[in-house]
């Protein structure tokens, strides 16, 4: 990267104009640590643009203690950034003011179109490390050498909401992984749910239109609880397996860190001889699966709409790097032919009990982005990006996606050169004859831009390589051209039922609650009724519960294209509760403190939290914090109104008797404990805290998950109890529908 000579030091002279003195010579870099990072071995400061996103930027060198001079984009030093150029003190403003015009024009063009789906997302860098070679089934370079690390970038997202929507929508989460392999980028553009709503890509625009805000009124935002969505779903029986998943707590994850990821489609792995093995990809979180409850999700959206992105940012910056295992399900044609369902049908899973998962690697996220726009917003995933040794199946959804992703990036990023943007550029050598176009940053040098050519090895440019190059699986396809759906895709309910019966009773209750909630927002009774008619083909009890919750007469079952297989066995892997963590690690305790709170218990709690690998935040009546019983002061992270208990995995209330008397009068403090109780959280109850619980009306309801914090020794017991995350039996006592 070329370094420009140092520009002169900024001058504090303001020649009598209106220049706020504190802005003169201010650090234009703001808070970002990158902008003032010292250059090793050099007493200079590097103020850089775009360096860490892969180059192409420019660096201004200035002496230490100095600040860079503000310039225009053309590098012209700016003398006054507070006042436009005017004719006389009171104007008019002159067209001649190139600095003003450039600044405004650039601002006017800051936005690019948001993604048509998955608009709201959050990304992080990391690496993939191979732990078990797959060289027995694939030639893919990334799967050859155990222990090798390959850089990766991951973007998590919600689907329906726009860029500025809230994180805890009830929605599918995107789990898109770009791995920069030595033989090109591999994009595994997956979701946190292993099946999809539709079987053929031609239905995607209809599905998305129905889920997005209704076109005349442009609401509701980021929710499927409206007529159009359920109208489409109830007319699309293939969607019901996915509906079971999206109505489950999978759609309200506690964190991106506590979700599984799935490649969804069946792909192929190819060895050096072109032999194919079918594969399904799974990401399994080391953090265990965890979700929130719906009432909590609704409140988190108000308290902290950025809950998931903040969680990822904090965890990575705190050195608690989230990690997933990459698992593969490998199978051959014989299995595919014998399986009850079509492996090309993206509305079906292959239960892990039938084809066990082989863990072959791990994905670790260890670095947040330097610039959200440059990396997270501009990253362009394309399902078509597969390196040699990984190939597609004929899944009609996947085939359609392979067209859609490239197409959408061209629109979104403004042209065919989006691979020149550092986050999208491969990190392996590349050479081709594609050229020109908007914003071309990598331009061929020399005379030859075509092949074949006869300019020889040095001037003639790259040549194709039939051995190293990607070769598609030599699949034979035949049959008449026709618009049909294969009969083998016709079973819409059997796996929906299998999912439902695999859930614990509390998870089944949540599915029923979610359906009642969503359909209660649907205005047309016939749509509600038609939806229940499909549930009858899945589970009679579920259908009856939902009908009852809606006050609806049970309709006739929908006419099924094929009878439901009712004896598919339950699969434990489909439940969140059965796959939760065994520790409180990576979780957050909220401690409500007042002045005079017991210092010894507070210290013991911190010690227990640290030992567990968890974190804590202090909530107090005032943001300045509290003075504990021994006179030490503790700063608060939240004032009580801004730190509701929904933001924490468990809570402790540690107050003095005076503090308790005051907080018992405070609505936010009462909400803090009632919500924690209603959301089945573990609660540490300090010796003096009772008046707050009494004022909240729950003092006589406290159960075995409300543990005493009367002495320092109680802290460890309490944090160990928190490992269970929730005390589900309580839900039956706090929910009218369950009584
Ligand atoms: Fe996508 N999808 N999708 N999708 N999808 C997009 O590409 C599309 C599908 C998924 O963080 C778009 O760059 C079609 C399944 C993720 O940047 C678009 C079909 C799965 C992301 C698109 C599907 C996904 C997208 C919009 C039906 C899980 C976010 C912006 C055939 C396996 C990637 C963009 C990111 C994004 C099309 C179905 C996952 C329009 C046509 C199934 C995680 O190209």
| Residue in the block written with tokens 């409500």 | 592
Q: How many residues does the chain have?
A: 739
**172 and 66 part of one domain:** no
3-state secondary structure 187-255: EEEEECCCCCCCCCHHHHHHHHHHHCCCCCCCCCCCCCCCHHHHHHHHCCHHHHHHHHHHCCHHHCECC
**126 and 45 part of one domain:** no
Average pLDDT for 394-418: 97
**137 and 67 part of one domain:** no
Provide the domain count of the chain: 3
Task: Find the residues whose C-beta lies inside 6 A of ligand 1.
Answer: 115-118, 121, 155, 157, 174, 176, 189-191, 196, 201, 204, 264, 346, 381, 397, 400-401, 404-405, 408
E strand or H helix that includes residue 709: strand 706-709
Residues 6+ apart with CB under 8 A from 294: 170, 252, 510, 513, 514, 517
pLDDT for the residue numbered 64: 67
Kindly indicate the confidence band of residue 462, based on its pLDDT and cuts at 50, 70 and 90. very high
Q: pLDDT, tens digit, for every residue of 518-533?
A: 999 999 999 999 999 9
Average pLDDT for 710-725: 97
560 within 8 A of 592, measured Cβ to Cβ: no
pLDDT for the residue numbered 51: 47
pLDDT for the residue numbered 61: 57
- Tell me the two tokens of residue 631: 């006179």
**140 and 56 part of one domain:** no
Instruction: With a cut of 60, say whether residue 12 has pLDDT above it.
Output: no
pLDDT for the residue numbered 739: 61
**185 and 292 part of one domain:** yes
670 within 8 A of 696, measured Cβ to Cβ: yes
Instruction: With a cut of 70, say whether residue 6 has pLDDT above it.
Output: no
| Cα angle for residues 193, 198, 203 (degrees, 5° grid) | 135
User: How far is ligand 1, taken at its centre, from the CA of residue 178, in Å?
Assistant: 14
User: How far is ligand 1, taken at its centre, from the CA of residue 405, in Å?
Assistant: 7
Answer yes or no: is 430 within a domain.
no
Instruction: With a cut of 80, say whether residue 644 has pLDDT above it.
Output: yes
**39 and 166 part of one domain:** no
Average pLDDT for 491-501: 98
80, 101, 131: which is the final residue of a domain? Answer: 80
Lowest mean pLDDT among 3-12, 38-47, 69-78: 38-47
User: How far is ligand 1, taken at its centre, from the CA of residue 237, in Å?
Assistant: 21
**139 and 23 part of one domain:** no
> Measured between alpha carbons, how far is 601 from 236 in angstroms, rounded to an integer?
57
Answer yes or no: is 728 within a domain.
yes
**182 and 279 part of one domain:** yes
pLDDT for the residue numbered 53: 52
Question: What is the percent of the chain with per-residue pLDDT over 90, rounded to a whole number?
Answer: 89
pLDDT for the residue numbered 1: 36
| Cα angle for residues 649, 297, 234 (degrees, 5° grid) | 140
**36 and 156 part of one domain:** no
Nearest to 608 by CA among 650, 644, 573, 641: 650
Answer yes or no: is 693 within a domain.
yes
Answer yes or no: is 552 within a domain.
no
Instruction: With a cut of 70, say whether residue 33 has pLDDT above it.
Output: no
Nearest atom in ligand 1 to 189's CA? 43
Q: List, as own/partner pairs, every contact residues 36-43 make where C-beta atoms lie below 8 angstroms and the sequence separation is at least 24, other chains included.
A: 38/64
| Cα angle for residues 102, 103, 108 (degrees, 5° grid) | 95
Residues 6+ apart with CB under 8 A from 40: none
393, 420, 447: which is the final residue of a domain? Answer: 420
pLDDT for the residue numbered 734: 84
**43 and 135 part of one domain:** no
Residues in a beta bridge with 62: 45
Instruction: With a cut of 60, say whether residue 9 has pLDDT above it.
Output: no
State phi, psi for 187 to the nearest 5 degrees: -105, 115
Answer yes or no: is 694 within a domain.
yes
pLDDT for the residue numbered 136: 97
Answer yes or no: is 264 within a domain.
yes
Nearest CA to ligand 1 atom 44: 405
Instruction: With a cut of 50, say whether residue 247 has pLDDT above it.
Output: yes
Burial of 358 (0-12, 13-18, 19+ CB in 10 A): middle
Instruction: With a cut of 80, say whether residue 736 has pLDDT above it.
Output: no
Average pLDDT for 363-381: 98
- Any binding-site annotation on 723? no
442 within 8 A of 420, measured Cβ to Cβ: yes
Answer yes or no: is 723 within a domain.
yes
Nearest to 297 by CA among 167, 173, 172, 119: 167
Residues 6+ apart with CB under 8 A from 690: 660, 699
pLDDT for the residue numbered 458: 87
Q: What is the mean pLDDT of the chain?
A: 92
- Any binding-site annotation on 450? no
> Measured between alpha carbons, how far is 629 from 622 in angstroms, rounded to an integer?
17
**68 and 162 part of one domain:** no
**Active centre residues (catalytic):** 118, 191
- Any binding-site annotation on 204? yes
Residues in a beta bridge with 130: 361
E strand or H helix that includes residue 321: none
pLDDT for the residue numbered 18: 42
Average pLDDT for 182-189: 98
User: How far is ligand 1, taken at its centre, from the CA of residue 402, in Å?
Assistant: 10
pLDDT for the residue numbered 738: 67
DSSP 137-184: T---GGGTSTT-EEEEEEEEEESSS-TTS-TT-SS-EEEEEEEEETTE
- What b/e string do you get for 37-52 counting C-beta neighbours within 10 Å, with b at 16 or more? eeeeeeebbbbbebbb
> Measured between alpha carbons, how far is 213 from 210 in angstroms, rounded to an integer?
8
Q: pLDDT, tens digit, for every residue of 289-348?
A: 999 999 999 999 999 999 999 999 999 999 999 999 999 999 999 999 999 999 999 999
pLDDT for the residue numbered 457: 86
638 within 8 A of 612, measured Cβ to Cβ: no
> Measured between alpha carbons, how far is 274 from 725 in angstroms, rounded to an integer?
48
Instruction: With a cut of 70, say whether residue 638 has pLDDT above it.
Output: yes
Pocket test for ligand 1, best of 112, 113, 118 (most atoms within 8 A of CB): 118
Answer yes or no: is 67 within a domain.
yes
CATH number at residue 598: 3.40.50.880
Lowest mean pLDDT among 196-200, 368-372, 477-481, 492-496: 477-481
Instruction: With a cut of 90, say whether residue 439 has pLDDT above it.
Output: yes
Q: pLDDT, tens digit, for every residue of 529-567?
A: 999 999 999 999 999 999 999 999 999 999 999 999 999
Q: 738 or 423: which carries more pLDDT confidence?
A: 423
**142 and 28 part of one domain:** no
CATH number at residue 327: 2.40.180.10
Q: Which domain holds residue 687?
A: 586-738
């Amino acid at each position: 990267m070329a370094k420009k000579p140092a520009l002169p030091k900024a001058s504090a002279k303001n020649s009598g104009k209106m220049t706020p003195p504190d802005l003169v010579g201010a650090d234009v870099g703001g808070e970002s640590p990158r902008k003032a990072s010292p250059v090793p071995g050099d007493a200079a400061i590097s103020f850089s643009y775009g360096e860490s996103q892969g180059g192409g930027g420019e660096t201004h060198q200035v002496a230490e203690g100095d600040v860079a001079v503000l310039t225009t984009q053309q590098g012209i030093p700016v003398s006054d950034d507070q006042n436009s150029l005017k004719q006389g003190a009171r104007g008019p403003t002159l067209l001649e003011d190139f600095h003003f015009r450039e600044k405004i024009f650039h601002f006017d063009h800051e936005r690019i179109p948001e993604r048509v789906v998955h608009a709201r997302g959050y990304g992080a860098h990391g690496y993939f490390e191979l732990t078990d070679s797959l060289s027995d089934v694939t030639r893919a370079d990334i799967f050859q050498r155990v222990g090798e690390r390959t850089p990766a970038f991951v973007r998590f997202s919600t689907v329906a909401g726009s860029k500025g929507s809230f994180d805890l929508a009830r929605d599918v989460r995107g789990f898109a992984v770009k791995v920069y392999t030595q033989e090109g980028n591999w994009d595994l553009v997956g979701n946190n749910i292993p099946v999809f709503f539709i079987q053929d890509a031609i239905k995607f625009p209809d599905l998305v239109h129905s889920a997005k805000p209704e076109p005349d009124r442009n609401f509701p935002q980021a929710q499927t609880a409206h007529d159009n969505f359920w109208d489409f779903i109830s007319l699309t029986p293939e969607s019901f397996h996915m509906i079971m998943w999206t109505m489950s707590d999978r759609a309200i994850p506690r964190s991106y860190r506590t979700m599984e990821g799935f490649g969804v489609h069946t792909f192929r792995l190819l060895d050096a001889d072109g032999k194919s093995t079918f594969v399904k990809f799974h990401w399994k979180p080391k953090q265990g699966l965890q979700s929130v409850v719906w009432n909590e999700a609704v409140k988190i959206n108000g308290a902290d709409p950025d809950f998931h992105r903040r969680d990822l940012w904090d965890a990575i910056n705190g050195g608690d790097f989230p990690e997933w295992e990459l698992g593969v399900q490998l199978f051959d044609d014989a299995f595919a032919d014998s399986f009850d369902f079509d492996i090309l049908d993206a509305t079906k899973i292959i239960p892990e009990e039938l084809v066990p998962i082989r863990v072959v690697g791990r994905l670790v996220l260890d670095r947040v982005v330097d610039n959200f726009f440059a990396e997270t917003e501009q990253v362009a995933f394309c399902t078509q990006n597969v390196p040699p040794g990984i190939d597609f199946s004929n899944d009609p959804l996947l085939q359609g996606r392979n067209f859609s992703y490239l197409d959408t990036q061209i629109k979104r990023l403004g042209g065919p050169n989006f691979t020149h943007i550092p986050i999208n550029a491969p990190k392996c050598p590349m050479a081709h004859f594609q050229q020109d176009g908007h914003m071309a940053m990598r331009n061929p040098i020399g005379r030859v831009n075509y092949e074949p050519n006869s300019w020889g090895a040095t001037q003639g440019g790259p040549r194709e390589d039939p051995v190293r190059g990607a070769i598609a699986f030599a699949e034979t396809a035949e049959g008449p051209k026709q618009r049909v759906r294969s009969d083998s895709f016709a079973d819409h309910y059997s796996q929906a039922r299998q999912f439902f019966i695999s859930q614990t009773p509390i998870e089944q209750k949540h599915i029923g609650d979610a359906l009642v909630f969503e359909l209660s927002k649907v205005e047309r009774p016939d749509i509600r009724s038609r939806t229940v008619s499909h549930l009858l083909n899945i589970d009679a009890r579920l259908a009856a519960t939902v009908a009852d919750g809606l006050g609806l007469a049970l309709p006739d079952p929908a006419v099924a294209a094929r009878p439901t297989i009712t004896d598919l066995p339950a699969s434990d892997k489909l439940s969140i509760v059965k796959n939760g963590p065994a520790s409180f690690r990576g979780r957050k305790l909220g401690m409500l403190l007042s002045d005079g709170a017991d210092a010894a218990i507070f210290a013991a709690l911190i010690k227990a939290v640290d030992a567990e690998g968890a974190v804590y935040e202090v909530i107090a009546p005032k943001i300045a914090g509290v003075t504990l019983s021994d006179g030490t002061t503790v700063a608060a992270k939240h004032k009580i109104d801004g730190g509701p208990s929904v933001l924490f995995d468990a809570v402790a209330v540690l107050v003095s008797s005076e503090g308790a008397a005051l907080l018992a009068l405070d609505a936010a403090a009462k909400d803090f404990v009632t919500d924690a109780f209603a959301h089945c959280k573990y609660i540490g109850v300090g010796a003096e805290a009772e008046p707050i619980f009494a004022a909240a009306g729950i003092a006589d309801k406290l159960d075995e998950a409300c543990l005493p914090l009367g002495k320092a020794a109680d802290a460890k017991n309490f944090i160990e109890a928190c490992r269970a995350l929730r005390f589900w039996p309580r839900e039956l006592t706090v929910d009218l529908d369950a009584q």
